Amino acid sequence: MRYAPVTDSLADLGGAKWEVHALARRMQAAGEAVIELTIGEPDVATPPALLETAARSMAAGRTGYSNGRGEPALVAALAARYTARRGREIGRDQVMCLPGTQTTLYAILQTLVTSGDEVLVGDPMYATYEGLIRATGATVVPVPLRPEAGFRIQPTDVAARITPRSRVLFLNSPHNPTGAVLSREDLAALCQLAAEHDLWVLCDEVYEDLCFPGVTFASPLDLHEYAERVVIASSISKSHAAPGFRSGWCVGPAEFCTRLLPLSETMLFGSQPFIADMTAEAVSSPSPIAAEMMTRFQRRAALIHAHLHGTAGLTVHMPQAGMFALLDIRATGPTGEAFARALLAQARVAVMPGESFGTALAGWVRLSLTQPDDRILEACTRIAAFAAAQRQAA
């Protein structure tokens, strides 16, 4: 039987990147005491008030069809939120609501690029980005994110990879997996470069509310002079510990949203109204749980740094935001993939191989900060002993 070429393009980009995580889950199901530091699932429950709003909305009959743009109350709430945060008027015609950041990014890229185009994206990158880009037929152009630059994408590295086929500069700030946060100055230089080469600037901002104390979040939406070429995506998955509700959105030029609307209607024809009602409440005021989450995540990153940095040749990269820390394990000998698999088998600690996020993280692993402090400390003890043994054997 025949299949569309997209199935071949994506064949190696699905569950294979998460094999260590899946293996850890199978081991846990079999009764093994695994410390799971793989995925970025918030460590608290969705705020009860939001669940109550969704339940009331369902009971009131808000379970019918919606529309491709989003429920009016949610669209209005998002327009108000971004008008207040970004310091310029964001109209309702500049907002689109979709199920989660992943679906939103898929729809955005389908609207902006096609076969023969190129998308510039930082390497390392979130594990699904390559598939999102390949699904359009466009080519992924990795731009190395350098540890010595704090993993912040550098305009000179972007400029060196721009060609006549370049169409989109795909940013992620705060960044997963590195925890890097782009400054306003970084974004101004990148947007200026995009303007010079007529590129779209797409930014995934799902970790906006999880910047650590002392770190200032900036968005390309702040730069009014580049408004016609900037699109951002976000959701309540991280900020409100609600990943299973799949409630996301994008903000961009009105013409872009008009172009995206038929695609949204073709894909989904609307999200669930009761989830939209919950989301409208969530985005209309500061998250009641984000501040405590980011304090815990920063503390746990510091614990990992204190216990592993410089131990058995390991190097810890301290994040500025988000729920992950990176560990450079190259001094121990194996690749990140080999290290993660052996660590799980021998020490019962599950981490993500750096190679799941691009070639630039070969020889690194990513540690989630979503376990309690005592579990983080126990994981550090096991990792240190394992790394010491690996280095001695190398």
Q: Is 86 helix (H, G, I), strand (E, B) or coil?
A: helix
Digit-coded pLDDT (tens) for 160-204: 999 999 999 999 999 999 999 999 999 999 999 999 999 999 999
pLDDT in the model for residue 18:
85
Q: In this structure, are residues 247 and 275 in contact, taking their beta carbons and an 8 Å threshold?
A: yes
pLDDT in the model for residue 391:
81
pLDDT in the model for residue 103:
96
DSSP secondary structure code for residue 273 in this structure: H
User: What is the 3-state composition of the chain as percent helix, strand, coil, each rounded to the nearest 5?
Assistant: 50, 15, 35
Which pLDDT band holds residue 217 (cuts at 50, 70, 90)? very high
pLDDT in the model for residue 10:
86
pLDDT in the model for residue 355:
93
Q: In this structure, are residues 20 and 352 in contact, taking their beta carbons and an 8 Å threshold?
A: yes
DSSP secondary structure code for residue 153 in this structure: P
Task: Tell me: cis bond preceding 243? Omega within 30 of 0 counts.
Answer: no
Q: Considering the entire predicted model, what is its pTM?
A: 0.95
Which pLDDT band holds residue 394 (cuts at 50, 70, 90)? low
Nearest to 225 by CA among 331, 97, 360, 87: 87
Q: How far apart are CA 9 and CA 321, in angstroms?
A: 32
The amino acid occupying position 366 is R
Does residue 64 have a pLDDT over 90?
yes
The percentage of the chain sitting over the pLDDT mark of 90, rounded to a whole number, equals: 90
Which pLDDT band holds residue 392 (cuts at 50, 70, 90)? confident
The percentage of the chain sitting over the pLDDT mark of 70, rounded to a whole number, equals: 99
pLDDT in the model for residue 372:
96
Nearest to 70 by CA among 234, 279, 238, 253: 279
Digit-coded pLDDT (tens) for 227-274: 999 999 999 999 999 999 999 999 999 999 999 999 999 998 889 999
Digit-coded pLDDT (tens) for 66-78: 999 999 999 999 9
Nearest to 255 by CA among 225, 280, 230: 230
Indicate the range of 2-16, 117-131, 209-223 predicted with least confidence.
2-16
Q: How far apart are CA 129 and CA 67, in angstroms?
A: 27
Q: Which residues contact 281 (CB under 8 A, 6 or more apart)?
A: 49, 50, 53
Q: Is 77 helix (H, G, I), strand (E, B) or coil?
A: helix
Nearest to 253 by CA among 82, 47, 42: 82
pLDDT in the model for residue 17:
81
Domains of the chain are 5-45+289-393 (3.90.1150.10), 48-283 (3.40.640.10)
Q: How far apart are CA 348 and CA 342, in angstroms?
A: 9
Which pLDDT band holds residue 14 (cuts at 50, 70, 90)? low
Q: What is the mean pLDDT of the chain?
A: 95
pLDDT in the model for residue 267:
92
Digit-coded pLDDT (tens) for 324-365: 999 999 999 889 999 999 999 999 999 999 999 999 999 999
